[in-house]
Amino acid sequence: MTSPFRTFAALAALALSTGATAQEEIRIGVLYPLTGAAASTGIELKNAAQLAADLINGTDKSLGLPLAGAGGLPGLKGAKIKLVFADHQGNPQVGATEAERLIAEHKVAALQGAYFSTVTTTASQVAERNGVPFLNADSSSPALTQRGFKWFFRTTPHDELFVQNAFEFLRDLQKKKGFAQPKRIAIFAENTEFGTGAAKLQERYAKENGFEVVEKVLYPPKGTQLTSEVQKLKASRPDIVMQSSYLGDAILSMKTYKDLGFLPTALLANDAGFNDSEFLKTMGKDGNFVISREVWALDLGAKKPVIAKANALLQARHGVNFNGNSARAFTGVFALADAINRAGSTKPEAIQKALQQTNIAGADLIMPWGGIQFDATGQNTKGAGIIVQVQDGKYVTVWPFDLASKDVIWPMPGWDKR
Amino acid sequence: MTRRSPALALALAGLAAAVAFPLLATKVTWQNAAILMLMTAQLGVAWNILGGYAGQVSLGHAAFFGAGAYVSTLLSVKLGISPWLGMGAGAVVAAGLGVLVGTPCFRLKGHYFAMATIAVGEIVQAVVNGSDALGGAVGFNLPLGETGFWGFVFNRSKLPYYYIALGLLLATVGVNWIVNRSHVGYYLRAIKDEPDAARSLGVSLTRYKMIAMILSAGLTAMGGTLYAQKELFIDPGSTLSTGLSIKIALVAILGGAGTLWGPVLGAVVLTAIEEATRIAFGGTGRGTDLVVYGALLVVIAVFQPSGIMGLFTRRAPRPVPPPEPEARFP
């Protein structure tokens, strides 16, 4: 029986040594998957969040975002923001435990995280129980803001909005560019939460918008061939394929399309595998002309200089560009800092109230959004997605048209004409 | 009797310490770690009946864990039935599933049985993933909000979860102890060590393996219900994954499979290492916690291949092959 207590003692020593923090800081707990399968994403998110905090704590005002260069939060006499990072390993139970630890031991004023929708679910429950604001910048499951939580705020748009965007894009093509309206849609999706959820929404919105769903194929994402699935798609003669795939199956499906000579008017992908940096590396020219929804793109910097400036800062520090995930994490820290600053206090109730009254202008964000303003469920109502197309091996923004850097290439040119 | 008294005293002292622990250690992190230890230990002890005593190494126990979590959650979300009744129902469903799995799989020997159970776990996960009625890949959220004992949701304090987990662990250890002392225990060990000799003496292999399976599956499912009620969110990834199955087996094997207290010890050590390394190094994002965790596992596997429990029993004079001499008399 001595062994457990010895280990407890070791545990205690560790807890104490990491638990001591200065008093005049504003501590924000940040939960990301820092180890495990999504570790590389988690580290990107961590770096982006830390960059945001350092900008707010520093005195360089050149970026031009509110609070950047403020030397701490003016509403709290220049108190500095300290991000306390925790690793949830992509495990919902660990996420809940770590959230509780950050609240109890580090006395964090608010929490941010957690990228995985499943972990966000359990970690935000802990925040809700303890009455601590939870800002979610990067989980897109619609269910998260349907729980009636009072302490949960989400800055990113969720999956439903992304699906709506695709149909708005099609409508805009017809209205503003005079393209012939395609009618036949085929839905092609992997069969876990991501794909099945998106497929359901796409089916619903297709019908509401007067399209005909001619085929719906769900496939297991770990399969080694998609030949029969693609043959089914081809046989249904769709104008548009709406596809939700992870990286491996996205690449496999594209190769199969080419092998079987399947060429719809357009391929509208749902982010994920199609936007992974590995996708274009593997596909080369065959990856061109894919159209995908995105939350952010580097070429937005042409019309919104703050994006290019922020990206230069991240490049200087870590040698990587922002992407949709890290840009949202960065924005999350600014949104929290804005609320805490206006609250003028680290009391949870004051921050909660300030978050409810958040009204950040679109111009003050590095996102292509109308701004940040939360509805009663905690969802940001001014979020928006963009649509990108691969042109010459790069993702370029093609919609909304006022943010677009290039015209959309439509219909998709044949496999032999690349 | 004289040989048993120190063990009994030790057990009682341990129990007293376990009861008093959360009242003395009021820090949430400690209480959380302790609850995690108790829950993990309970799963290891439940696994031990089948994997330890009967020697049927299952790497698909997440299926039973998930059955417990899903049955109680479905009953409470859809029909408003108390999770306590759901816990019983989950145990029955898991035991049924165990019989279903055991009927064909108990014909397989050694590694082939373990491989078959991996397949079973994966199949159950795939089925739940694809079923809208079972929440599909999205899973279920249980409503927050304190409900008192009967509703099995406690917000204000960790203590109810702690004592429920402790109670469940004691009950599971109790079942293990009874099995261990009864003729079933002898038969199971015989089946494990010398299946052909056992059969030649008239021991029905399938029947006694099945008894072990039913007990093991049912108790694992009860742990699943507790998990669902504590985390208030279940999905296939968190309650049915093969990673969970491996963890359950790991706890028991690390601590000492086939011993009464081995799995408990394994859970305490494993959870302590996991939590301590994560708290100390997890925020760095360099994976240091997992490196330390892995290294410690390797150390234990190399120096204590029979499990941590071996540290405490090594000095006891005993012939080498047959284990558990102290259990020879009732």
Please list every residue in chain A whose beta carbon sits closer than 8 Å to the beta carbon of residue B264: none
Interchain CB contacts (distance < 8 Å): A and B: 133
Rounded Cα distance between A148 and A258, Å, is: 47
What tens digit of pLDDT does each residue of A361-404 get? 999 999 999 999 999 999 999 999 999 999 998 899 999 998 99
Q: Is residue B86 part of a domain?
A: yes
pLDDT in tens, B66-83: 999 999 999 999 999 999
- Give the pLDDT confidence score for residue B301 in this predicted structure: 80
**Rounded Cα–Cα distance for residues A111 and A135 (Å):** 6
SS (H, E, C) B225-280: HHHHHHHCEECHHHHCCHHHHHHHHHHHHHHCCCCCCHHHHHHHHHHHHHHHHHHH
Which residue matches tokens 């009732």?
B330
Report the sign of the C-alpha dihedral through residues B300, B301, B305, B309, in that order. Answer: positive
The pLDDT value given to residue A271: 86
Report pTM: 0.83
Measured over the CA atoms of residue B223, residue B225, residue B230 and residue B234, the dihedral's sign is positive
CA separation for the pair A381, B88 (Å, rounded): 45
Q: Could you tell me if B18 and B261 are in contact, meaning their C-beta atoms sit under 8 angstroms apart?
A: no
User: Are A403 and A387 in contact, with CB atoms under 8 Å apart?
Assistant: no
Q: Is B152 on the interface with A (CB under 8 A)?
A: no
**B167-178 pLDDT, tens digit each:** 999 999 999 999
Compute φ and ψ for A213, nearest 5 degrees. Answer: -85, 105
Closest Cβ opposite residue A86 in set B13, B269, B282: B282
Q: How far apart are the CA of B244 and the nearest CA of chain A, in angstroms?
A: 11
CATH number of A160-294+386-399: 3.40.50.2300
d(Cα A258, Cα A289) in Å, to the nearest integer? 13
Res B292: pLDDT: 75
> CA of A369, closest CA in chain B: separation in Å?
28
What mean pLDDT, rounded, does chain B reach?
87
Quote the number of domains for chain B: 1
Residue B77's Cα: distance from chain center in Å?
25
The answer to whether A133 and A143 are in contact (CB under 8 A) is no
SS3 helix, strand, coil % of chain A, rounded to 5?
45, 15, 35
- Asked if residue B277 has pLDDT above 70, the reply is yes
Q: What is the DSSP string of B76-101?
A: HHHH---HHHHHHHHHHHHHHHHHHH
Cβ-contact A385, A290 below 8 angstroms: no
Whether B279 and A15 lie within 8 Å, measured CB to CB: yes
What digits encode the pLDDT tens for the residues A24-71? Answer: 799 999 999 988 777 888 899 999 999 999 999 999 999 999 999 999
Q: Per-residue pLDDT for B328 more than 60?
A: no
CATH number of the domain residue B133 falls in: 1.10.3470
Whether residue A116 contacts residue A137, with contact meaning beta carbons closer than 8 Å, is answered with no
Residue A2: its pLDDT value, please? 42
Residue A241 has pLDDT above 80, yes or no: yes
Cα gap B302→B1, rounded to integer Å = 35
Indicate the angle between helix axes B83-105 and B111-129, nearest 10 degrees.
130
- Show Cβ contacts of residue A86 under 8 Å, excluding neighbours closer than 6 positions: A29, A30, A31, A32, A98, A99, A101, A102, B282, B283
| Residue A404 φ/ψ region, left for φ over 0, alpha for ψ in the -120 to 50 degree band, beta for the rest | beta
The answer to whether B34 and B22 are in contact (CB under 8 A) is: yes
3-state class of A380 per DSSP? strand
Residue B282 lies in a domain: no
For an interface test with B, give the residue of A34, A141, A146, A149 to mutate (most B CBs within 10 A): A34
Distance CA A216, CA B167 (A): 50
Copy the structure tokens of residue A162.
């992304």
Q: What percent of chain B has pLDDT over 70?
A: 92
DSSP element (H, E) containing A244: strand A240-244
Is residue A291 a contact partner of residue A387, using CB atoms and an 8 Å limit? yes
Q: What is the DSSP string of B153-174?
A: B--S-SHHHHHHHHHHHHHHHH
Q: Are A340 and A353 in contact (CB under 8 A)?
A: no
Tell me the ipTM for this assembly: 0.82
So what's the pLDDT on residue B3? Answer: 53
Burial of A115 (0-12, 13-18, 19+ CB in 10 A): buried
Q: Name the residue type at position B86.
A: G
Separation of alpha carbons A277 and B85, rounded Å: 50
Asked whether the domain spanning A160-294+386-399 has the same topology as the one spanning A16-157+303-372, the reply is yes
pLDDT at B314: 54
- CATH classification number, A16-157+303-372, choose in 3.30.43.10, 3.40.50.2300, 3.40.50.720, 3.40.50.1820: 3.40.50.2300
**CA dihedral sign, ordered A331, A337, A342, A346:** positive
Please give the structure tokens belonging to residue A116: 């995985």
Please say if the pLDDT value at position B2 is more than 60.
no
> Which residues in B lie closer than 8 A to residue A11 (C-beta atoms)?
30, 33, 272, 275-276, 279
Of A11, A100, A129, the CB nearest to B276: A11
Residue A202 has pLDDT above 50, yes or no: yes
Q: Please, what is the average pLDDT of chain A?
A: 90
> Using CA atoms in the order A179, A185, A190, A191, what is the torsion angle rounded to 10 degrees?
140
**What single-letter DSSP state applies at residue A183?**
-
Question: Cβ of A104 and B233 within 8 Å?
Answer: no
**In this structure, are residues A323 and A132 in contact, taking their beta carbons and an 8 Å threshold?**
no
Q: Does B282 touch chain A (CB under 8 A)?
A: yes
CB–CB of B90/B221 below 8 Å? yes
C-alpha dist (Å) from residue A120 to A115, A139, A359: 7, 7, 24
B312 part of a folded domain: no
Cα B106 to Cα A11, A119, A312, B65, B257, distances in angstroms: 42, 37, 62, 20, 19
Contact predicate B148/B21, CB 8 Å: no
Chain B residues with CB-CB distance to A100 below 8 A: 28-29, 32
Give the 3-state secondary structure of residue A290: coil
Q: How many CB atoms lie within 10 A of CB B126?
A: 14
**Could you tell me the two tokens for B231?**
């985390």
Q: What residues in A contact B32, CB-CB < 8 Å?
A: 97, 100-101
Residues A258-287 have pLDDT tens digits of 999 999 999 999 988 898 878 888 898 899
Stretch 120-139 of chain B: residues touching chain A, C-beta under 8 Å: 129-130, 136-139
Considering only residues 2 to 31 of chain B, which have any Cβ-Cβ distance to chain A shorter than 8 Å?
10, 13-14, 17, 25, 27-30
pLDDT at residue A21, as a whole number: 40
CB contact under 8 A, B30 and A197: no
Out of A84, A93, A191, the one facing B130 most closely (by C-beta) is A191
Residue ranges covered by each domain of chain A: 16-157+303-372, 160-294+386-399
pLDDT surpasses 90 at B326: no
B234 pLDDT above the threshold of 80: yes
- Whether the CB of B322 is below 8 Å from some CB of chain A: the reply is no
Angle made by CA atoms A393, A291, A301, in degrees to the nearest 5: 65
Which pLDDT band, with edges at 50, 70 and 90, does A6 fall under? Answer: low
Of A8-17, A151-160, B226-235, where does mean pLDDT reach its minimum? A8-17
One-letter amino acid identity for A285?
K
* pLDDT tens sequence across A68-116: 999 999 999 999 999 999 999 889 999 999 999 999 999 999 999 999 8
Q: Indicate whether B288 pLDDT > 80.
A: no
Backbone angles phi, psi at A95, to 5 degrees: -55, -45
Asked if residue A44 lies in contact with residue A320, where contact means CB atoms within 8 angstroms, the answer is yes
d(CA A388, CA A408): 9
**A100 and B29: CB-CB below 8 Å?**
yes
Place of tokens 């919609």: A399
Beta-carbon count within 10 A of B313 CB: 18
Q: Which domain holds residue B177?
A: 4-246
Which of A178-182, A359-363, B151-155, B256-260 has the highest mean predicted lDDT (pLDDT)? A359-363
Poorest-confidence range of A339-348, B144-153, B229-238? B144-153
Neighbours of A302 (CB within 10 A): 14
CA separation for the pair B36, B312 (Å, rounded): 24
Query: Is-contact A126 A317, C-beta < 8 A?
Result: no
Angle at Cα B215 formed by Cα B214 and Cα B218, nearest 5°?
A: 80
Q: How far is B189 from chain A (nearest CA, A)?
A: 27
Residue B26 is predicted with a pLDDT of 86
